[in-house]
Amino acid sequence: MNATTRRTVLVTGSTSGIGEATAAAFARDGAEVIVNGRDPGRTKAAAERILAAAGNGEVRAVAADVSTAEGVRALTDAVPDVDVLVNNAAIFDARPAFEITDEEWSRYFETNVLSGIRLTRHYAPGMVRRGWGRVVFISSESAINTPKEMIHYGATKTTQLAVARGFALEVAGTGVTVNSVLPGPTLTPGVRVFIADRVGEGVPFEEAERRFIAEERPSSLLGRLIRPEEVASLVHYVGSDAASATTGAALRVDGGVVSSIVP
Task: Give dist(CA 6, CA 34) in Å, integer.
Answer: 13
> Which residues, at least 6 apart from 232, have a Cβ–Cβ distance to it below 8 Å?
18, 21, 22, 24, 25
* Angle subtended by helix axes 17-28 and 40-54, to nearest 10: 40
- Residue 202 gets the label, from left (phi > 0), alpha (psi -120 to 50) or beta, of left
- Cβ atoms within 10 Å of 97's Cβ, excluding its own: 10
Task: Give dist(CA 262, CA 239) in Å, integer.
Answer: 22
Is 126 buried (19+), middle (13-18) or exposed (0-12) by CB count in 10 A? middle
237 is an active site residue: no
Which among 108, 123, 153, 237 is annotated as catalytic? 153
Torsion sign over Cα 213, 214, 216, 222:
positive
- Residues marked active site are found at 153
